[in-house]
Structure 1
């Protein structure tokens, strides 16, 4: 599991408390930015920015059509599932 992880992405995630909080919440299951912000007790603007950054690196993915403006649901990308497990398992967060 540790061998398959992209270490550059690990460093990217753990360098931001907001990105860590977003992935920690999405590890529980898909959610909207508002749900993530509420559960993580973080401002929704910071959560939205973190989601955008994580999406640009293909760590999270939008699970609804791109043109949807409300109720945008995000989840951890299939090929990034090990990423959070490594961060959590190595106590990097």
Structure 2
């Protein structure tokens, strides 16, 4: 296996560990598995405060696991899993 492939695997395992370290991250990702949702829908579905959902979505977005589908909207922003997020969901 090449060095670049080893580095890629290690990065994925680091992200996987990061996801598994938080039930918020795991539950938000699982909720998005069904399709795009607004932060409000995620908060209601998981019985989380909006501040927790917003922070979690921001962190997941920084890691490239979720994306905002309509970032220009102030209200009704929709979030969805990225391809990498979909791969991670299979493992958690």
The normalised TM-score by structure 2 is: 0.83
Number of equivalences: 83
Q: CA offset at residue 69 of structure 1? A: 1.1
- 1:35 is paired with a residue whose SS is helix
More helix as a share of residues: 2
Q: How far apart, CA to CA, are the structure 1 residues paired with 2:80 and 2:21?
A: 20
* Matching residue within 19, 26, 34 for 1:20: 26
Relative contact order (C-alpha < 8 Å, sep 6+): which is higher? 1
2:79 equivalent in structure 1 = 74
Equivalence map 1:47-62=2 (5 Å): 47-62=53-68
* Matching residue within 78, 84, 90 for 2:89: 84
RMSD: 1.4
Stretches of structure 1 lacking an aligned partner (at least 5 in a row): 88-93
Stretches of structure 2 lacking an aligned partner (at least 5 in a row): 1-8
Q: CA offset at residue 80 of structure 1? A: 2.5
Q: CA offset at residue 67 of structure 1? A: 2.6
